[in-house]
Chain A
Amino acid sequence: MSASHPAIILQRLSYASLPTPFAVAGDDPVLTMRALAARVGNAAADFASDGAAPMDDYFIGSTLGSPYLSDRDSTGPEYRALIGHHAKRQVDASVNVYECTNWAFLLREGLARSRALGRPRRLLIQVVDCDVHGIEAAWRTRTYGNARFGILNMDVHVDATGADGDIAIDVAPLSVSMLKFGSRLRARALARAESVVSAPFFTEATSRAFRRILRDVEVLEELHPEFGHCFGADPWIGLGLRKEARGRRHVLGSLALNGYHAISTITVASDASLQVSRP
């Protein structure tokens, strides 16, 4: 017997870009790290102070990395502590190695916790990407074209007993990673009626090839010309800008530079709040 309620429900989403670049070469990365931590923590505090029940877990995922943000022998502990200070709660997990697929691992962790305790959980997930060193390669990428830094905040309700909670995560050789990713997105969308795909933002030529793989399913608008590449936030931004998103099921996917991909089915609550600030 299959469950009638969705396993993953997006209740609220907000996205705002950060100044890109956020620093220039020669700036003190410690000061930049502290400025970023304040923005991340304050965004979490603002987002979570809506009077509803407290979030069970606070997770952060990032693609761009620096020892100043993650390494315990550098200022990683200070970065996490500062975020916690501004957010008024400790960060429960921050992941960086999964690149743009980070949000899928955080959803999977939330579902595992729901399964362990036998009840639904409410997750605050942030996707944060910002280069703190002023390395131009971080926003003028060779693969994804121009990129934009930003902070995505999400309130996601997960219930391990719900339907469509399987999160597909895999890695493929780079030569076929896009084909494999696109084929799996398409198969997931075709398996369930009325599923709309929200995909990463690609440059024009890549987008054309990618959308050919998804030829017979509905895919949300290509937003690279307006947003550039926003790392793991891409499919969520697309979802957040869709006028008809509420109450609908979507297939979201991200593809990492190293060939990982992650695909998940997300149901948007009928009363969801979706706020994406256009750059």
Chain B
Amino acid sequence: MSYLYTWAQRLVHTPYPDPVEADAVLMPYRTLTDYQAAEAFALSALPQPVLVGYFQYYRLLTDVISLLQTSLAIDGPVLVEISRPLGVALPIGLMSEGVLVSDDTDPQARWWSHAGVDRVVQIRSRIRRDLHEFGDNSLTVVLHSRVDASDPLHDILRRAPFACAFRPLHHAAATTEPSAAIHAMECMQ
């Protein structure tokens, strides 16, 4: 591949204005010792707030993928890196041919970028969906391209309806502001 373009942003408020119920699913614990066991991944002290539920999270990823697929002739795969969600079904868009969701997209991006295809998209989501999850609420999109001599990513993604909920990673400091979600209304004005 000759070109590598990166769009790295942090979600700073809820990307969709429509109200949504919290949809996290509790693990179906069987005994009280299950709570003791689950303390190993209790992470409530992380600085980044939870700004999306699972449903909105999947909607966001699906919107990003659909936008890229309709704007760019992607002949390689869309590789999506997300950590294991609990209990909420993936939308069919994330299960479709040409999309693979995995734990670490780097080895696949390396393979596909040497496989003779023109464009491979790598999406790394670190957006938290629940208090027990790691993440700095960043979303990074990398385009591995043999055909784009200038960056098409920023023009495509900055016009997306969800873009106003993001700030460039180096401008968006970690926040503990729990009311960030209210800014979502501004997003759609």
Contact = CB atoms under 8 A, between A and B. Distances in A.
A and B part of one assembly: yes
Nearest to B43: A67
Interface string A122-163: 000000000001111100111000000000000000000000
Contacts, number: 132
B29 A258 contact: no
Q: Identify whether the interface residues of B are mostly helix, strand, loop, or mixed.
A: loop
B8 to A, nearest CB: 15
Contacts of A97: 82, 84-85, 90, 94, 101
A71 B83 contact: yes
B48 to A, nearest CB: 11
B149 interface: no
B36 A26 contact: yes
B6 interface: no
Contacts of B40: 29, 68, 133
A96 interface: yes
Contacts of A80: 103-104
Contacts of B30: 136-137, 140, 142
Interface stretch (A34-42, A108-116, A246-254, A271-279): A108-116
Interface residues of A, number: 48
A79 to B, nearest CB: 9
A194 interface: no
B133 A25 contact: no
Given A92-B108, A98-B90, A171 B95 contact: yes
Interface residues of B, number: 45
Contact of A96 (B84, B92, B94, B97): B84
A174 to B, nearest CB: 8
Interface in B1-46: 27-31, 33-34, 36-38, 40-41
Contact of B38 (A98, A133, A142): A133
A77 interface: yes
A93 B108 contact: yes
B101 A98 contact: yes
Contact of A67 (B81, B83, B94, B112): B83
A74 B34 contact: no
B74 to A, nearest CB: 13
Contacts of B83: 67, 70-72, 76
14 contacts: A23-B37, A29-B40, A68-B40, A72-B134, A92-B107, A93-B102, A94-B104, A97-B82, A133-B38, A136-B33, A141-B28, A170-B92, A260-B89, A260-B95
